[in-house]
Structures are given as structure tokens and as C-alpha cells.
Amino acid sequence: MSETLETIQDYYKRLSHLHASDGTILDVELGKSHFNISPRKYCDFKTPYNRRDFYKISLILGKGWFKYGPHELYIDRPALFLPALNIPYSWVCDTNKQEGYFCLFNQEFFTGSQTFEPFKKTSLFKEWSKPIVFLDAEQLNLITTFFDNMFRLNNSAYPLRCSAIKSNLAAVLHLALEWRVEDVAPQDQSGSLRMYRLFDELLHKQFPLDSPAYPLSLHTAADFAQQLNVHVNHLNASVKSVTNLTTTQIIKRKIFEEAKNLLIYTDWNVAEIGYTLGFEEPAHFNNFFKKNAGTSPLKFRQKNK
């Protein structure tokens, strides 16, 4: 797996010659929600083979080669491309005529909205899922409508455009799930990928949290290893080989994501939220949240409520 991780800031620096003239904010503020969409006529002839820390969905009208992880795939008809964050990929155009759209958004845009909550339990953006959906003429007409809407909204002054963009993006994701050919079967996966898939499904099954009366039951790597009946070192090695992250990093990232949702969308007090997420002492939750958000849970709630 590529050790190179392209951040959304790196992306804008790499393509600053394209985005500087159209008013795009090149310095994306860390921790802030971000979305952008562009016609593919501005796409690079060749993109670097990297992992990305942001989501990117492409409506591809044009021919070219994808290298996705260890696989190579030739695109010769309309397609949707929905890559997983942890899989490195590159694109090489085979013709100069490239049309369609690509939209990119960071984890704050995707995880900070209840609109996208149902997709977290699906195979979208997962390492074991197929990233390509080929489109027939009817499907292409339908999906193009939503991309056209997102592009128009993104360049409008409509005050609720962010909410409207999320609705259109959610429609695209629903259609991708509806149309996608069956994902890679478990028996066709490596041992590490099968283990990671079991861990990922178990992790996401716990969320969203419904009540302080039912606190998080699995919140350490050892908890998950025990539930999966494997040694914690085996689980850690499997997760690391697939994602390049530790099991603990992934668990903490998910707990932090849920903490933000609970602070925004519930009226539970901060101590209740901390306890429900597995923190016995309120001070431990405050320290954890401040380390990840740069501010206290209470200040975050006051700013985002």
C-alpha cells in the first residue's frame, strides 16, 4: 500500500493552477466542513497513485485507466467512481475528451450530518466494496441531474445551499447502492481484509447511541478482539495492514465523531455523553474531546447547536 497520503490541502496545492481562477478556497480550514464540485474537463491527465484523506466521487464520461490498490481497470463507458479512503488509486486518461463531474468533500462534511448517517452501515467507501458503478443511458441521465444540481448550488448564493447539496449527494449515494453489482464476497478476500471487515461491521453496529441508559459496550481494541474471538495482536495487525491506521485510532475517531453528533443533536449533558461513550470520569472525556477538537465539549456545543 502506498505510504503517501494526499490531504485535501495537498490536492488544492497540486491543482492550484486550475482552482485559483474560479474562486475556490485553497486553504481549507482544518476541522471545518468542506465540499467542492468541478467539471471533469479540468481533471488532470494523470493523477498520482496516493491514498486520500478526503472523499471523492467522480461521474466519468471518458476513457482511461484506474489503478485501484493492486487492481487495474479500464473505463470505456459512463461510470461512477466511489473509492475508499484507505485504498491508493491513480487515474490516467486514454483520450483528451473527458466530461462529467467530480466532487470532493472532507470527513467533517460527511460525518457531521445526519443526512449521511445511514450510509455508514453500508458498503459504500469500504475497502472490500467495488468502487465502480457502470451506468446505462437511463441511469446516466438520472445521475447527471443530481450532479448538475450540486454544481449549480455550489456556485449560487442560496443560503440553504449546503443542505440542498447534501440532499442531492445523498440521492447519488442511494442510487449507487441501488445499482451497484454485488460487492466482493468474503471468501474472495484476504484474511486481513476479512478480519477488518468483521471489525468494521461490529464497530458501526454500535452507532448511533440512543440513550445514556445504554452506554458503549466495545470501546477498546481488546474489547473487539474478545468479541471476534481472536488475539488482539492479530486484530491490530489485520487492521493496520488494510487501513494503515491502528485499531485504537479507528475506534477513537468513531467515538469522536459520535461525540460531536451527540453534542449537536441531543440535549444530554456533557457528563452523560462522556459516560455513554465509555469515559468513567467527565474530566477524561473533556481531555479526549479537547485533544481532538481543539476546544471543550461545552464550547463546541454552544458554537454548533
CATH code of the domain covering residue 297: 1.10.10.60
CA distances from 84 to 5, 81, 98, 124, 228 (A): 13, 10, 23, 8, 24
Domain count, the chain: 2
Tell me, yes or no, whether 164 and 125 share the same domain. Answer: yes
**What residue numbers bound the domain in which 105 lies?**
5-179
Domain boundary among 145, 179, 213: 179
Both 63 and 105 in one domain: the answer is: yes
Q: What is the pLDDT of residue 203?
A: 92
Predicted local confidence at residue 47, as pLDDT: 86
Claim to verify: residue 114 and residue 149 sit in the same structural domain: yes
Domain end: 113, 144, 179, which one?
Answer: 179
Asked if 70 and 200 sit in the same domain, the reply is no
Same domain, 198 and 272: yes
- Per-residue pLDDT tens, the chain, 305 aa: give them: 445 788 888 888 887 765 554 544 455 666 678 999 999 986 667 888 988 989 999 999 999 999 998 888 899 999 999 999 888 899 999 988 899 999 999 988 887 677 888 888 788 898 888 899 999 999 999 999 999 999 999 999 999 999 999 999 999 999 999 998 555 555 556 788 889 989 998 998 888 888 888 899 999 999 999 999 999 999 999 999 888 889 999 999 999 989 998 998 899 999 999 999 999 899 999 999 999 989 999 999 988 77
The one-letter amino acid code at 46 reads: K
Of the three residues 144, 179, 214, the one that is the final residue of a domain is: 179
Q: What is the pLDDT of residue 2?
A: 45
Element (H, E) at 72: strand 71-75
Full strand arrangement of the beta sheet holding 99-105? 35-39, 99-105, 55-61, 79-81, 132-134
Question: Which residue from 260, 249, 251 is spatially nearest to 216, judged by alpha carbons?
Answer: 251
81 and 221 inside one domain: no
Would you state the pLDDT for residue 120? Answer: 82
Rounded to whole angstroms, the Cα distance separating 300 from 144 reads 37
At residue 86, the pLDDT reads 80
In 10 A of CB 121, how many CB atoms?
12
CATH code of the domain covering residue 97: 2.60.120.280
Enter the C-alpha cell of residue 72. Answer: 487495474
